[in-house]
Structures are given as structure tokens and as C-alpha cells.
Structure 1
Amino acid sequence: MTNQAILGVILGPDNSQRVVISAGLPSSVAALEAEIKTQCKIVTPFRLQFMDPLFGNDFVNLTSIEELQDKATLKVVYTVSQPQDQADSFSFPSTSAADDASSSSGDSTVILASPEYTSSRSSWPDLFPVPRFKFDAEIKLEKAYVAFKENGMLLIPDPKLKSDILEGLIQEVVKHTVYLTDSKFDQVAEALILRHPCLKEKGSPSGYAGWKMSLKYKLSNYRTHLRKVGCPEVCANALKYKPAEKCSPAYDVKRPKRGEVDYCPPFPLGVSEQSLEKIRIELLSDVKKRNNRDTIKGKMNITFSLRRQEVIYDAPMISELQQRWPALFDAAEHEHFCIQKISLKKQSSMNVFFAQDMTDAATLSAIAGTTVGVYVTRGTPGKDFPDVGIIIEGVVILQDLDNVALATAMLFGLFYCFNMSYPAQLRYTFEVIQKVVMGLDPTELSRKAQNLKTKLQ
């Protein structure tokens, strides 16, 4: 008789449940997901991760039931929207929520969210999870591992096995980004030989130099494939999107350079540019209504892909964005979260002050000539407290912020929202904020930023 299996399932922060399967572990991951869905009464689509002892008990995606043992710990990862008890998350609306939002605005437009889009990307992991490869590839690797343990024999993979391994790694990589830095290629290749030590290369100082180079070629070829099928993030770098007078494909390349997660996402399934443009027009009226925050938030979520493609492809002026997307400036933090999946308010630890009198004519003239700035008023008629705000391209973008620390963090987020380059005079300042303070893509620092980081430590 089969012994029962007991699993610990983490459903969210401060929310876990014991799952008892009387017939033992199911024969497949899909069957296990169905059992957990039933016992835990989960209605939202999800995938499972398990606590892997090979990687310091970090959670990695569950791809084979063979990876599980009795009394294992699993984590539910929701692939559409997070449960209400998961704090500090930015929830994308479900179809029903979007329908409620559209009906409350008095329009019959049906807004559909795409589960594939909302779960398409996640931030780069601290430890890259090597996936399970094809069934026959795993058999070959298991045999090679036995030989390696017995006599230290390294495996020279045949072309098909090597192709299967590279394909599996690339499919895991593109869950996070399609543009890897050199250090991230190192992480992927190193994780491979740690998971499968029989694949270590003889004569290579690192043991994975050849794998790293092969990964670079494989990802480059895969980006070519993505460009052919119309992936917006890759198409942004195609020659046909460059100005006619510039013939170099490398001119004004608009690829993720600051660790963005959703840099240029595709349109959600079931919608088109025309339908999203209709929702954008509705938002122009919605922002003028009171107590309409939920409706605006839902429509801003749905139109995120349209807004990002417009910002990246057309590079409009800030004043034009204010006219087309007025709600964006009230939801700049949420927009940054969509792109980077990191809360700005939690990161606002910088404290730099600029004091100006907003009623002074000279000050108004200075604002018009300011490219980027944070201001603090000495006093404004009718107000008993100073005003803190942000200036970009001579336009006051945000006002009435709580403090300069928050304004600095919001300014940083606006660079992401508007796909702007850092001002030349402040490039090291913003590099330190991004890579040292916020920890976004922190592995490659300029010499000056590295020297400051060393002194701070």
C-alpha cells in the first residue's frame, strides 16, 4: 500500500498550509498542482516552486515530480494576480475587475488583461535556477554524473545534448531578460556546472568559458527569432526603427540598460493598438472625476504596454506625455513598479536639499531652463508648509511630495518611466542611486562609483 505524502505549501506571506495526499505523491507536476488547488481552494492560476537543498534551500521552479520527497516545502507562485494578503505588491486587474472598472465609467468597452503578459517577466534572481532539461538529456546527464562521482570523468556532450542544454538555459533566461550583461552570462554558466559538475570544461580556468560563449551565440540567435515573430523589446533595436539618415543598426539602441524587467512588453492578448488608444482617450475624462482612482488604476494597468512602446519608439517630450497621459504623473511609482518590480518608497533614503522661492520671477525663469531638478519652496502663499516637487525639461512634473528623499526616489523612477538617459553632469550620482542604494544591476560599476562603494563599506 502506498504511504501517504505530507507537504508544506506556502500560499503567501504569513499564509501556509499542510497538504496530506493519502495515495502518495502524484505521478506528475500537473496532478500535484490539481491536488493542491483542490485542498487549498486556490482559484488563481499558479505554478509551484520547491525548496532545493542543492542551492541552499532556495526556491526553484518545480519541473519534475522526481525532485520532491515526502515532507518537502513548496511555494505557490501566482501567475495572474497576487492574493489580497500579499502586501506591497502591485496587482494587475483580472478580467472581472477590469469589467467593473469599465462599467463604472459608463462605457461598454470590455477591458481584458493578459495572464501571459502579467506573469511574463520577473527580476533577475540572486542565484540562477538551472531548469530540468528534456527527458533524454536528463538521462544522459544522470549517467555522466555517476561516472563523474566514480572516477572524476568529465562529459564531452554530443551536439544534440549540448543544444538541448543551451535551449533549456535560454528559455529560463528569457523569463527575466533578453539582454544579458557579461556578469549574468557568468552566473548562468557557473550555475550550470555547479548543478551538473560533469559538464565542467577541462583546461578552462573558470570551468565554463566555452559554455559562456555558446550561451552568448545562442541568445543572439534567439533574439533574431524573437525579432521575426515581433517581440517589441527586440524589434526596438531593428534597423527599420532607426532614423532614415542613420544607417547603423547600433544607432540609438533602446535596449534595457538599467536592469528593467518589463522594458517594452507586447500588447495583452485580445486587445489591439486601436482598442488601447480608445481606453487612453477615456482616461483623459476619468482623471477629471472625483473618487475615480480604482478605475484609473485599472485602465493604466491595461494600457501599460501601449504607453511603454510609445515612450520607447517615439521618445516624446515630457510636455506631450503630460497631455496624452496625465494619470501617469500621479502614478509614477506604480509605473516604475511595473517596469522594475521594486517599490520606490521603500528605497527613498537619499536626502539632498534644494531651496527656491517659487514666486520669484528669476526662479520661474530658472525652472524653464532646468533639465532635471528637485525643488523645495521657502514658502508659498496660502500654504503653511514648504512644497517639494520635481522638474523635468522645464516642466514641474510632481508637486506636494512628502520630503526630498521621496522626491529623489520618484525622480529616479521617472527616468525609468520616460526611458531617459541620466544627465551627463549627474550620471555618477544616479549610477550610485541605482546600483549601490537600490541594488539594480549592481555588478558593473564605473571606477568612481566602485571607489565610493568601497569607502562606504
Structure 2
Amino acid sequence: MGNYRTKLSRSGCDEVAVNSGKRSRNNPESESPHCNIKRPRRAEVNYLPNFPRGEDASSLERLRVQVVEEVSKMDKNLQMIERLMQTTYALRRKQIIADNPSQSVKDLLENWSALRIESQVCAEFHRITNINLRSKFYAELDKHTPRLLAVYRQKAARTGKTAEALRSIFSAYDLLEQCDVNHRRTAALRALPVFLCEDDSAFFRTWNTEKESEPDIADLAVGLLTMVNEDPSSPVQFSPARIAIVLEGDIVLNDLSYLADAFLMLLGLMYALNICYPKKLIHTFHFIQKVIMGLDDFKPLTPRLLNLKNDLLGRV
């Protein structure tokens, strides 16, 4: 097995060949073998597949143009878009990971405009991980929400800045006249970074559409923009007008109804576009990835995530 990856690379396996050609005795001027390694980081199953049999870059590029043309139509043929996106998956991953990994999100979404459609974000996540994004996320979140809320309330009963922030969230939650599943999901997700002692001030933004003509998102790399029609009465909007996903200062999706929907689509876009998690919310997204979605990258959980997971499972 010592030279197994070398044989895979020579046979044309793109996922291995993408890291070949590094510095060696025969190529002393090449980059370091430990530099810019491109490999799955978040339990991706189909990270960098080969082109389908009988297809090459030029033929798949023609199909990509067809996708852009179909998406631009008012009456979109979603079945055709799905079929074309499935066929061009290998080309898309090659462009995102190998050819130009530093390409801006805006340029990527211009080339692959179908990734602005919610159904295609979920389909792309399934192509990468073989997991149904929507059903898995909601099922696991709903399973853990009662215990999460109980753990949050225990923390809120203590003293300190974290407890005070949690009390502020639950004071708004407890004032709701009718608490449905979407409100419970919102409370569970909105309080998660607070409980994990992470700074979410830059991630969550609010846009008062009646008083402000444009949102303040120019400096926002990854975040969620809550749109309200009046002054927010609390730091949590359980019934916003809309929620938008912002990537590199550009609104990607802007017609989401609840916070859980926004987290769902954001996770799908991060996988589809190979975007790193925000550094200030790294624990929050690792919890969603590893505990909620069950996508284990075989790296140990940090102590704070492990403690939370044990609390959810009722372990000591």
C-alpha cells in the first residue's frame, strides 16, 4: 500500500492527482509537498470526481452554458437544470477546487447560477456528501432542540455575560403568544453561538428596510441578514420579514422565512462552494456539521463541543 496513492495519481484519479507535481528531487523548483494540499476537510464523499465517461472539459462547458441560459428564463425547467447540474458536477468541482480556488463567490455564482436556487443547493450537498440536507438537518435539530433549550436555560440561570445574553434571547422567546416548531428551532440555533462563547456580532446583521435604503454588508464575508420592517424589539427576530444569506458582501439567497432555513442553506452553500467556516463561529458550525448532520471528519471534538454533546446525550 506504500505507493497506492502514486498509482492512483498516475491512473488519472483527480482527487489524488490534484496534489501531485509537488517539490521533489526531479522538480526542485516546485512548491512544497505540504503546501496548498487540496483534500476533503468536512467528510465530503465525492470531493473531486473524474469527468463522466465520454465527456471532457469542452463538452461539459457547453452544458454549463445551457444551465446558465435555462436559469435566466422566467419559466425554468427545473428537471432539465437538475439533469444538467448532475452531469456537470465533476467540471464544477474541478473549477472550484483545482483550477481557481481563489475565485470570488460572485464569479462562481455567475458561472453556476443554478446554485442560487434552493433545490439545487440541497441537490449539490447530496452530490458531495450523499446525505439529504433538508430532511437530515430538520430531523436531527428537532430531536436535539428540547434538550438544547433546557441546557441553555440552565446556563441562563447563572451569572455572567453569557448568561445575560441567553436570558435576553429567552425573554423574547417566552413572550411569544404561539410557539411553533420554527420558533423553537430559531431559539436553539440563535442561542448556540452564545452558549459556546463565540462572537456572533459580525455574523448576524439586521436591516431595517423602512429606514435604510441599503444594508451594511460590504465587509461581511459570511453572515445572515435579517430584514425587518420596524425597530426590532429584541436581539432575536422570531418572525422576520425575510432572512438573506450573505457571502463576500453579496446577497446570495434573500427569500428565507426562518433562521433554521437560513442555516440550512448556508451550510449547503459552504459545501457547494468549498467555503471555510467563519473563524469566530468555528465551534458553532463544527457542532452543526458533526453533531447535527453527523458528518464526522475523524478529528476529536474540542472540550466545549464535547461537553455540549455529552449534555445532549445525558452522559456524565
Instruction: Tell me the TM-score normalized by structure 2.
Output: 0.68
Tell me if 1:372 matches 2:222.
yes
Any unmatched runs of 5+ in structure 2? 142-184, 191-203, 231-238
Query: Is residue 224–residue 246 contact of structure 2 (8 Å, CA) maintained in 1?
Result: yes
State the secondary structure of the residue aligned to 2:216: helix
TM-fit CA distance, 1:358: 5.2
- 1:227 maps to which residue? 9
Structure 1 residues 385 and 424: alpha-carbon distance in aligned structure 2, compared to 1, 3 A threshold: closer
Structure 1 residues 275 and 379: alpha-carbon distance in aligned structure 2, compared to 1, 3 A threshold: same
Q: For residues 5 and 212 of structure 2, what CA distance do their matches in structure 1 show?
A: 51
Structure 1 residues 370 and 363: alpha-carbon distance in aligned structure 2, compared to 1, 3 A threshold: farther
Match of 2:285 among 416, 427, 430: 430
State the secondary structure of the residue aligned to 2:91: helix
State the secondary structure of the residue aligned to 1:270: coil
Further displaced range: 397-406 or 331-340: 397-406
Which deviations, in whole Å up to 9, do the C-alpha atoms of 1:246-287 show, x marking residues without a partner?
721111211012111100000000011000001111222111
State the secondary structure of the residue aligned to 1:391: strand
TM-fit CA distance, 1:455: 2.4
Any unmatched runs of 5+ in structure 1? 1-217
Which deviations, in whole Å up to 9, do the C-alpha atoms of 1:360-419 show, x marking residues without a partner?
787845211111111221139xxx971122111111111212321021021112111111
- 1:261 maps to which residue? 45
The structure carrying a bigger helix percent of its residues is 2
Which deviations, in whole Å up to 9, do the C-alpha atoms of 1:296-327 show, x marking residues without a partner?
11111110100011000111210101211111
Q: For residues 450 and 419 of structure 1, what CA distance do their matches in structure 2 show?
A: 25
TM-fit CA distance, 1:295: 1.1
Matches within 5 A, 1:319-334: 319-330=106-117, 331-334=120-123
Q: For residues 269 and 109 of structure 2, what CA distance do their matches in structure 1 show?
A: 13
TM-fit CA distance, 1:238: 2.1
Q: For residues 385 and 365 of structure 1, what CA distance do their matches in structure 2 show?
A: 15
Query: Is residue 207–residue 225 contact of structure 2 (8 Å, CA) maintained in 1?
Result: no
Which deviations, in whole Å up to 9, do the C-alpha atoms of 1:186-236 show, x marking residues without a partner?
xxxxxxxxxxxxxxxxxxxxxxxxxxxxxxxx2x52111111112111122
Percentage of matched positions with identical amino acids: 36
Return the letter of the residue paired with 1:415.
Answer: M
Q: For residues 297 and 94 of structure 2, what CA distance do their matches in structure 1 show?
A: 26
TM-fit CA distance, 1:437: 1.1
Query: Is residue 14–residue 48 contact of structure 2 (8 Å, CA) maintained in 1?
Result: yes
Match of 1:299 among 75, 84, 88: 84
Structure 1 residues 225 and 258: alpha-carbon distance in aligned structure 2, compared to 1, 3 A threshold: same
Tell me: higher relative CO, structure 1 or 2? Use CA pairs within 8 A at least 6 residues apart: 2
Q: For residues 445 and 391 of structure 1, what CA distance do their matches in structure 2 show?
A: 28
Matches within 5 A, 1:52-67: none
Structure 1 residues 445 and 272: alpha-carbon distance in aligned structure 2, compared to 1, 3 A threshold: same
Structure 1 residues 375 and 226: alpha-carbon distance in aligned structure 2, compared to 1, 3 A threshold: same
Flag the structure with larger Rg.
1
Query: Is residue 389–residue 401 contact of structure 1 (8 Å, CA) maintained in 2?
Result: yes
Tell me if 1:452 matches 2:237.
no
- 1:49 maps to which residue? none
- 1:68 maps to which residue? none
Query: Is residue 336–residue 342 contact of structure 1 (8 Å, CA) maintained in 2?
Result: yes
Query: Is residue 387–residue 401 contact of structure 1 (8 Å, CA) maintained in 2?
Result: yes
Query: Is residue 335–residue 417 contact of structure 1 (8 Å, CA) maintained in 2?
Result: yes
Matches within 5 A, 1:344-363: 344-346=133-135, 347-348=137-138, 349=141, 351=186, 352-353=189-190, 354=204, 356-357=206-207, 359=209
Return the letter of the residue paired with 1:339.
Answer: I
Q: For residues 307 and 434 of structure 1, what CA distance do their matches in structure 2 show?
A: 23
- 1:184 maps to which residue? none
State the secondary structure of the residue aligned to 1:366: coil
- 1:418 maps to which residue? 273
Give 4+ residue runs of structure 1 displaced > 3 Å after superposition.
352-355, 358-365
Q: For residues 301 and 312 of structure 1, what CA distance do their matches in structure 2 show?
A: 17
Q: For residues 310 and 250 of structure 1, what CA distance do their matches in structure 2 show?
A: 21
Q: For residues 363 and 437 of structure 1, what CA distance do their matches in structure 2 show?
A: 37
Return the letter of the residue paired with 2:272.
Answer: C
State the secondary structure of the residue aligned to 2:92: helix
Query: Is residue 358–residue 364 contact of structure 1 (8 Å, CA) maintained in 2?
Result: no
TM-fit CA distance, 1:355: 6.0
Q: For residues 218 and 20 of structure 2, what CA distance do their matches in structure 1 show?
A: 35
Return the letter of the residue paired with 1:325.
Answer: W
Return the letter of the residue paired with 2:309.
Answer: K
State the secondary structure of the residue aligned to 2:217: helix
State the secondary structure of the residue aligned to 2:125: helix
- What is the CA RMSD across the aligned residues, in angstroms? 2.6
Query: Is residue 370–residue 392 contact of structure 1 (8 Å, CA) maintained in 2?
Result: yes
Return the letter of the residue paired with 1:221.
Answer: N
Matches within 5 A, 1:402-417: 402-417=257-272
- 2:71 maps to which residue? 287
- 1:440 maps to which residue? 295
Matches within 5 A, 1:171-190: none
